[in-house]
């Protein structure tokens, strides 16, 4: 049998997943990555003895990673060691008002009960619904290529969908169960990963609460990049040829078929099928002749993008006190910050932020006696991010971090690197400098997402966080699987 050659563009979770699935189904696969190392938004870098994960830091939904490796007869533990974090994370509501979220469910319920009597029982019902949504959502719905409504018309699935609160907002759903503002903020936090506020995210996504509370927050020893390192080893075991510093400049199309790609170096790589795991907009608007684009610039401009971020990677020359591995700073109201992200895009006055200190758990990511500190402020896409503005926000959040954690930090920072919109654009061709792709609003769910297949070019497919099923590491892994299945189905 003639082996088909697939070219996959981009070595993020989605590209690696698609490439490995195709290679293990008898495709010869070349994966082309513009950067010098793999992982896309989940790359790492080292400096001054610190090792920084550049993007994702929350390992949620461990079953999705198990599923991924099990397709190839493997387990995550063949590639990296996981630790369950306890506390899972801390929520900072204000000075001296910090809530540790215990990994143990009974301890968690006891904490809720202290805040709002009766809420522990409410949590049982809330989680029972969330579990059902998780099981149907993550093990069935997200694996649909979402190319036609017909995929969703089986009677049992329609019944499932009706039970899944697709048409109610997450905000209304949470308020049916809880009254305390603190608990509401806690329950609404996970949907921020999906790129919109709880008012605009369907209550289907309370499945994220099940992931958070029941399945737990995990950490791969040596950092999140270990997942990528494991995926790269597995891809290579399966025969995927990965090439770095290999930026694709054009997908060459003739007679309605992609014939291959042209690299920035001028080299051409031929292909029977092309799967683009780079940002969808970049592929659709810059890598193919406009006459083959799936969507217009107006279409893209109207999409609700998930936020961008201002990040700081900091090496601190002492141990920090009063900080957990994950710390959510909710010490300012969400409303005005959300308005600055989604309604009137601008730099926020008083941003919420997230501080990650992986060296609390892992000695390998910082020199002895020191701390690895990662700070993240979610921001509207497409903002100007001058050095001066970055520095202003560094000081705004450092003032709060130092005050609330009760220590001097700035004078102990011996390594500092910032990262924002212009870096996302330069490194990943990110549309509007987005960090997490396209938001999972109702109007951007399933068949309403940018299609995983080009409508005019029969062998050109898309994968990654701007198409189905959506943003985040687990969905990107699934996206690669879904697109590979479609390629295989159409070619068999």
Assign residue 39 a region (left: φ > 0; alpha: ψ between -120 and 50; beta: otherwise).
left
Q: Can you tell me which of 4, 52, 55, 217 binds ligand FAD, judged by CB under 6 A?
A: 55
Q: Which is nearer to ligand FAD, 228 or 340 (CB)?
A: 228
Q: Which residue(s) pair with 329 in the sheet?
A: 92, 353
Burial of 183-221, coded b for 16+ CB within 10 Å and e otherwise, reads bbbbbbbbbbbbbbbbebbbbbbbbbbbbbbebbbbbbe
The reply to whether 280 sits near ligand FAD by the rule CB under 6 A is no
47 vs 30: CA distance, rounded Å? 31
Span of 38-46, 86-94, 162-170, 237-245 interacting with ligand FAD by CB under 6 A: 38-46
Task: Work out how close the CB of 397 gets to ligand FAD at its nearest, in angstroms, rounded to a whole number.
Answer: 15
On the CB side of 90, CA atoms within 13 Å amount to 22
Please identify which residue in 90, 271, 278, 483 interacts with ligand FAD, judged by CB under 6 A: 278
Quick one: tokens of 464?
A: 């990654």
- Residue 226 neighbours by CB under 8 Å, 6+ apart: 79, 80, 220
If the CB atoms of residues 112 and 251 are measured against ligand FAD, the closer one turns out to be: 251
> Does 145 help bind ligand FAD (rule: CB under 6 A)?
no
Report the C-alpha gap between 469 and 200 in whole angstroms: 17
Query: Closest distance between ligand FAD and the C-beta of residue 135, in Å?
Result: 19
Q: Residue 350, CB half-sphere, CA atoms under 13 Å: how many?
A: 9
User: Residues 190 to 209: which contact ligand FAD by CB under 6 A?
Assistant: none
Q: How many CB atoms lie within 10 A of CB 45?
A: 13
Measured distance CA(480)–CA(459) in Å, rounded: 16
For 14, list phi and psi in degrees, rounded to 5.
-70, -45
Residue with Cβ nearer ligand FAD (13 or 79): 13
Name the minimum Å distance from CB 472 to ligand FAD. 4
Q: Determine if 15 is a binding residue for ligand FAD (CB under 6 A).
A: yes
Q: How many residues does the chain have?
A: 492
- Contact status: 471 vs ligand FAD (CB under 6 A): yes
Residue 476 interacting with ligand FAD (CB under 6 A): yes
Q: Is 89 in the site for ligand FAD (CB under 6 A)?
A: no
Exactly one of 4, 6, 8, 12 binds ligand FAD (CB under 6 A); which one?
12
Interface of this chain with ligand FAD, residues 232 to 251, rule: CB under 6 A = 247-248
Q: What residues between 376 and 435 interact with ligand FAD by CB under 6 A?
A: 376, 428-429, 435
CB of residue 419 to ligand FAD, shortest distance in Å: 8
Whole-number Cα distances in Å, 292 to 6, 224, 258, 284, 462: 20, 37, 10, 8, 13
- Least distance from ligand FAD to the Cβ atom of residue 284, Å: 12
- Answer yes or no whether residue 137 interacts with ligand FAD by CB under 6 A: no
Picking from 108, 164, 162, the residue whose alpha carbon sits closest to that of residue 139 is 164
* Of residues 156-195, those binding ligand FAD (CB under 6 A): none
Binding-site ranges for ligand FAD (CB under 6 A): 9-15, 32-35, 40-42, 55-58, 247-248, 277-278, 282, 309, 311, 376, 428-429, 435-437, 464-465, 471-473, 476
């Amino acid at each position: 049998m003639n082996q088909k050659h697939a070219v996959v563009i981009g070595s993020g979770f989605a590209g690696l997943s698609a490439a490995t699935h195709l290679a293990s189904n008898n495709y010869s696969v070349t994966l082309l990555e513009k950067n010098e190392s793999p992982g896309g938004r989940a790359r790492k870098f080292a400096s001054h003895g610190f090792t920084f994960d550049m993007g994702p830091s929350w390992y949620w939904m461990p079953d999705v990673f198990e599923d991924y490796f099990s397709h190839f007869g493997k387990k995550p533990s063949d590639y990296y060691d996981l630790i369950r974090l306890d506390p899972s994370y801390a929520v900072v509501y204000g000075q001296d008002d910090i809530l540790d979220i215990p990994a143990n469910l009974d301890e968690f319920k006891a904490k809720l009960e202290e805040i709002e009597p009766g809420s522990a029982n409410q949590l049982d019902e809330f989680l029972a619904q969330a579990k059902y949504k998780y099981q149907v959502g993550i093990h069935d719905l997200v694996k649909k290529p979402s190319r036609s409504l017909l995929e969703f018309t089986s009677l049992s699935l329609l019944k499932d969908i009706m039970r899944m609160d697709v048409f109610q907002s997450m905000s209304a759903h949470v308020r049916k169960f809880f009254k305390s503002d603190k608990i509401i903020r806690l329950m609404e936090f996970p949907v921020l990963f999906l790129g919109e506020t709880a008012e605009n995210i369907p209550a289907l996504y309370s499945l994220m609460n099940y992931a958070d509370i029941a399945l737990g927050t995990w950490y791969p020893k040596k950092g999140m990049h270990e997942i990528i390192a494991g995926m790269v080893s597995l891809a290579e075991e399966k025969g995927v040829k990965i090439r770095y510093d290999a930026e694709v400049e054009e997908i060459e199309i003739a007679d309605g078929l992609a014939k291959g790609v042209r690299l920035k170096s001028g080299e051409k790589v031929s292909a029977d099928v092309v799967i683009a795991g780079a940002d969808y907009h970049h592929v659709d608007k810059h890598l193919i002749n406009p006459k083959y684009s799936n969507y217009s610039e107006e279409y893209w401009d109207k999409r609700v993008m998930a936020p961008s971020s201002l990040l700081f990677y900091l090496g601190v020359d002492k141990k920090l006190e009063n900080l957990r591995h994950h710390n959510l700073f909710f010490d300012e109201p969400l409303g005005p910050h959300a308005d600055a992200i989604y309604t009137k895009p601008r730099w926020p006055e008083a941003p919420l932020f997230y501080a990650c200190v992986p060296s609390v758990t892992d000695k390998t990511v910082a020199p002895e006696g020191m701390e690895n500190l990662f700070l993240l402020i979610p921001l509207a896409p497409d903002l100007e991010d001058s050095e001066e503005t970055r520095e202003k926000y560094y000081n705004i959040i450092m003032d709060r971090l130092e005050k609330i954690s009760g220590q001097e930090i700035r004078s102990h920072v011996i390594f500092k690197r910032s990262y924002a919109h212009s870096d996302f654009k330069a490194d990943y061709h990110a549309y509007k400098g987005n960090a997490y792709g396209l938001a999972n609003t109702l109007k951007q769910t399933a068949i309403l997402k940018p299609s995983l297949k080009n409508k005019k070019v029969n062998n050109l497919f898309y994968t990654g966080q701007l198409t189905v099923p959506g943003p985040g590491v687990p969905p990107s892994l699934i996206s690669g699987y879904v697109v590979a299945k479609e390629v295989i189905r159409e070619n068999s």
